[in-house]
Amino acid sequence: MGTPPYEHRGAGDPTAVRGALGLALLAVGGWVLTTARPWQKPGSALVLGAGWTVSAVLLLGGLALLARCVRTVHGDGPGPRD
Give the burial class of 29: count Cβ atoms within 10 A of its Cβ; 0-12 exposed, 13-18 middle, 19 or more buried: buried
Spatial contact of 34 and 63, defined as CB atoms under 8 Å apart: no
pTM over 0.75: no
Say what the pLDDT of residue 78 is: 57
Q: Residue length, the chain?
A: 82
DSSP 8-state code for residue 38: T
| CA gap 82, 73 in Å, rounded | 13
- pLDDT, one tens digit per residue, over 17-42 is 888 899 999 999 999 888 877 666 67
